[in-house]
Amino acid sequence: MKALTFSTFGDSNVLEYIEIPNPQLKNDEILIEMKAIGLNFADVYRRKGNYHLKGNPPFIAGYEGAGIVVDANNHSEYKVGDRVAFADAPFANAELVAVNINHVLPLPENISFETAASVLLQGLTAHYLATDSHKTVKGETVLIHAVAGGVGQILTQISKLLGATVIGLTSSAEKAKVGFDQGADHVFLYSDDWKSQVFKIASNGVDVVYDSIGSTLKESFEVTKECGQVVFFGMAGGDPEPVDPRMLMDGSKTLTGGDLWSYLNSKEERIKRATQLFNWIIEGKIKFSEPTSFKLSEGKLAHDFLESRKSTGKIILIP
């Protein structure tokens, strides 16, 4: 089979699209022929050598995708030809992927492969952020960094669904329009005096800030009200400064870390959360823009486009 690989760490030039042996199935795995694969910033971190990575060189990144079962490996709950997806199984950037049976998600007929690959990781992330990391309730004001990104778009829609007022932050007027299109009530640019703008809307500060930038963590706390919360779940802009516990105490503020793997901790939990997400999509409560597609063989171009920050929404790879 062909796969997008890298054998050393570095920029996108280390990526190689090469022929490697097919996966050898373990007893608890089934074999999936990939139809669409999600590309995420975590794959960039893996390529650079600063994020958890399984296997040996040549390494295969990717944890999310959708396809059809080509070998059910005597697991009676699936059969050859079944449409399935997954959000947390390694080595997705390949034509064939062996997936642990507990990580397989049945894919409804009215959810396309491209939709599943576009929405699962980012959608399940947005789901746990709004329902677990912070339990959003009607009437709250939430601030979402990178509102035009994949997680930001879906988190905006879920927050509105749960009754919150949404303030978004982004880097350009074009991306601001994307935030408004997703239902954000206000969107400000990082180049503006956005903290002052936030206080005009929420004079005492916001209830929760979702920070996926990292380097903005100090500013996120500055616009959080007393007894408010900051959820830190990414570092697209670099590592945050150390947090002063005294600041947390003085304002009765809470810092919560967020990582999807902590919540996808059983087969039942994965299917329950994915089913909720799929139902919201099927019912039209969550909508998203068409993903940008690259061939799997064009992985370098896809990585470059993701890192350029010109994308608004999901990038997927098609074998």
pLDDT of residue 149: 85
Is the pTM higher than 0.95? The answer reads no
State what percent of residues in the chain have pLDDT above 90. Answer: 88
- Reply yes or no on whether the pLDDT at 17 is more than 70: yes
Q: Where are the alpha helices (DSSP H) in 254-311?
A: 267-282, 299-307
Stretch 122-143: mean pLDDT: 96
Grade residue 312 by pLDDT with cuts at 50, 70 and 90: low
* pLDDT band at residue 91 under the 50/70/90 scheme: very high
* CA–CA separation, 210 and 167 (whole Å): 11
**Banded pLDDT at 150 (limits 50, 70, 90):** confident
Indicate the average pLDDT of the chain: 95
Between 73-82, 150-159, 284-293, the lowest mean confidence (pLDDT) is in: 284-293
How far is the C-alpha of 188 from the C-alpha of 63, rounded, in Å?
32
| Cβ within 8 Å of residue 244, ≥6 positions away | none
Could you tell me which of 245, 198, 246, 244 has the C-alpha nearest to residue 225? 198
Across residues 112-122, what is the average pLDDT?
Answer: 94
Q: What angle do CA 170, 175, 176 make, to 5 degrees?
A: 70
| Rounded Cα gap, residues 151 and 140, in angstroms | 19
Nearest to 101 by CA among 135, 60, 72: 72
Q: Per the structure block, which two tokens stand in for 1?
A: 């089979």
Q: What is the mean pLDDT of residues 232-250?
A: 92
pLDDT over 70, % of the chain: 99
Q: Which element (helix H / strand E) includes 170?
A: strand 165-170
Which three-class secondary structure state does DSSP give residue 146?
A: coil
Q: Is 75 exposed, middle or buried (0-12, 13-18, 19+ CB in 10 A)?
A: middle
pLDDT at 310 over 80: no
Q: Band of the pLDDT at 267, cuts 50, 70, 90? A: very high
Q: Give the model's pLDDT for residue 182.
A: 95
Q: Which of 39-43, 101-105, 158-162 has the lowest mean pLDDT?
A: 39-43
Q: Is pLDDT above 80 for 309? A: no
* Band of pLDDT at residue 109, cut at 50, 70 and 90: very high
Range 39-66 average pLDDT: 91
Q: Are 205 and 219 in contact (CB under 8 A)?
A: no
Amino acid at 102: N
pLDDT for the residue 281: 95
Q: What is the pLDDT of residue 50?
A: 83
Residue 289 has pLDDT above 90, yes or no: no
Read off the pLDDT of residues 188-208 as tens digits, 9 standing for 90 and up.
999 999 999 999 999 999 999
The number of beta carbons lying within 10 Å of the beta carbon of residue 172 is 15
Burial profile 98-115: b = 16 or more Cβ within 10 angstroms, e = fewer: bbebebbbebbeebebbb
CA distance 190 to 184: 16
Q: Across the beta sheet with 254-257, what order do the strands follow?
A: 186-189, 165-170, 141-144, 206-211, 224-232, 254-257
**CA-to-CA separations, 272 to 4, 107, 124, 134, 139, in angstroms, rounded:** 31, 13, 11, 19, 26
Report whether pLDDT(122) > 80.
yes
d(CA 318, CA 278): 21
